[in-house]
Structure 1
Amino acid sequence: MSIAPANAASPADDAFDEFSFLPEQAAAQGRPAPIGRRERLLLPDGRALSALAYGEGRPRIVLLHGAGLNAHTWDQTVIALGLPALAIDLPGHGHSSWRADADYRARTIADDVVRGIEAWADAPVVLVGQSLGGLTAAAVASRRPDLIARLAIVDITPGVDTSAGPAMLRRFYEETVFASRDELVERALAFGLGGSRAQAERGVLLNSRVREDGRVEWRHHFAQLMSSGTPSPAAAPESGWEDLAGVTAPIALVRGTTGFVTSGDADEFARRTGADVVALDAPHNVQEVAFADLASLIARLAASAGAAPEGRQTA
């Protein structure tokens, strides 16, 4: 089915510097701001895959965000990490093309992530995925074990109940096109999303685009799918447990204490996969709240995989 054309934005849409927030965020952490650059890869079917590369050289740490987010969700974690990293915009999100069939199942989009790792990273990598990105990371690790040294899955397990979040988001996305970004910020704050006004303004700027008609819409396809009532195959059942069974790399599960994964879910995950489980004081978007602790974990995984200097410390 054809839901919408691939990303159609105005030429002025990218006039701002998307990395302009990094110095302020880094100063708040007392750390140097990483150098960031935008990468773009043309896929065999004509779609584009986009990513953010931080630091010098080809990174061995790759980060995958959740549904409705984009690669910038990892900015604070990357600053705290202090190591070269690659954050990929999943298909249908950020600067990556929307899929005409709206199929964003983990197993479907895993092939694009594989191509991104091959093009931009120094494999084998430490692959970290949150929510939809976590299920996608499991599919990638199962399909291409040669590319993955360590796997970290953040606040998601196969079959976990995420119904509470989408119910509220469906109401939020009843409106998806706005006269200005200010209007979008006001709506986000009215729904209790985005944190402070400054945080909401930053999030809206990085996760929205100006259309050719001058109006503003979300960058991710999921907003339009929710607004139209079109069921996305991203929510269709698929066997994530089978993917995890095929993973040969060591696995870590990070659970946000107020996120989607319960302690019971985590226990089952550990029993079925042999994973180490770490609980952090955070909601579902762990990388935006407990970024220092998450960065410390990623640094330890990178060091154990030989992807970072031994003894690298984060606050």
Structure 2
Amino acid sequence: MTAMDFPARTFGVRTGPGVHIHGFEMGPADGAPVVILHGLAGSAREFFTTARALPEFRTIVVDLRGHGRSTTRPGDLSREAFVADVVRVIESVVSAPVTLIGQSLGGHTAMLVAAARPELVSRLVLLESGAGGGGGQDHEHLGRYFRSWPLPFASRTTAREFLGDGPLAQAWVADLEERADGLWTRFEADVMVAAINAVAAPRWDEWESIAAPALVVYGEHGMFTAEDKTEFCERGRNVQRVDLAGASHDSHLDAFDSWMKALRQFMDA
């Protein structure tokens, strides 16, 4: 069978008062389970191509709280709330240890899940992620950028004209929500700022406690310095590192073949 033989199936899980986590499931029900977590201001759809390139696995792709089709404005945007959502999804949808994959904010979340509930994570894959930090930097500049978007967009063509035609912009345009008055993002600027600000405190204790095999993948032109990458990998307990030439922070979008090669080699070992 090919990847396209396994259409996406949707699911929803309530993880707390007023919080609904949405996701998609692909692949055979008896396949080894994989859970994928997207980054800030992204959604599960960004990883559909990755999921479909793993046709023999049962792959769960999650919309994190505040993103995609999950609750847009949850009251709690702490790291612990994101972790609790993922734990609830694994326990209720999969009910087995998983290969947990996360990019950026999703990678930080995946790391904390593996530390808090090691029995749920058999292998860990972190794409363009780290222990956190940034010296308490306020990411309001991201809020200003997202608030500058002239919402609603009249059409996807209008959205492309404003956002550009890069891989990340294409993902944003594809995921816009159609409403009666036009096309809207599936995230809100202030929620994104609060979510990323919560990553400011580095979580070295959690990272250093993880015994599961971990693949750490960086883009050559990603957001981390050479020193950041070296320190993070050296302080991990069971880490394999791969660097993707020419790739950005969104390597799963702009360096897909290299990303899948690294992922496949790790998962097939």
- TM-score by length of structure 2 reads 0.84
Of 52, 58, 62 in structure 2, the residue corresponding to residue 88 of structure 1 is 62
Q: Is the 8 A contact 1:150 1:250 kept in 2?
A: yes
- 2:233 aligned partner, one-letter code: A
Partners of 1:166 and 1:296 in 2: CA distance:
36
Q: What's the CA shift string for 1:251-279, capped at 9, x where partnerless?
A: 22101111112322111012111322110
Q: Which amino acid aligns with 2:39?
A: G
1:56 pairs with 2:28: yes
CA drift at 1:300? 3.6
Q: 1:276 aligns with which of 214, 221, 240?
A: 240
Task: Call closer, same or farther: CA 1:100–1:52 in 2, change over 3 Å.
Answer: closer
Identical counterparts, % of pairs = 27
Which sections of structure 2, spanning at least 5 residues, go unmatched?
A: none
Deviations 1:78-118 (A, max 9, x none): 233333311111101111112343x4343321100111111
* Relative contact order higher in (CA < 8 Å, ≥ 6 apart): 1
The offset of 1:161, in angstroms, is 5.4
1:188 is displaced (CA, Å) by 1.0
**Residues 194, 43 of structure 1: alpha-carbon distance in 2 compared, 3 angstrom cutoff:** same
Equivalent position of 1:139 in the other structure: 112
**Residues 109 and 172 of structure 1: CA distance in aligned 2, closer, same or farther (over 3 Å):** closer
Shift of 1:121: 2.2
Aligned length: 259
2:92 maps to 119
- Listed as ranges, the matches of 1:85-234 within 5 Å are 85-101=59-75, 103-159=76-132, 167=141, 170-175=144-149, 177-182=151-156, 183-189=158-164, 193-194=166-167, 200=170, 203-206=172-175, 208-211=176-179, 214-221=181-188, 223-225=189-191, 231-234=193-196
CA contact (8 A) 2:35 2:61 kept: yes
* Larger relative strand fraction: 2
Partner of 1:249: 212
Kindly indicate whether the alpha-carbon contact (under 8 Å) linking 2:133 and 2:201 is maintained by their aligned counterparts in 1.
Answer: no
Q: 2:266 matched to 1:292?
A: no
| Maintained 8 Å contact 1:41/1:49 | yes
Q: Which of 9, 32, 44 matches 1:37?
A: 9
Work out the CA distance in 2 between the residues paired with 1:252 and 1:299.
11
Supply the distance in 2 between the matched residues of 1:193 and 1:291 (Cα, whole angstroms).
Answer: 14
- Cα shift readout 1:174-195 (whole Å, capped 9, x = no counterpart): 2352152333232112xx6447
What letter corresponds to residue 251 of structure 2 in structure 1? V
Q: Conserved in 1, the CA contact under 8 Å of 2:153 and 2:184?
A: no
Is contact 2:37-2:106 (8 Å) kept?
yes
**Equivalent residues of 1:257, 1:280 under 8 A apart:** yes
Give the letter for the 1:83 counterpart: E
Corresponding residue of 1:307: none
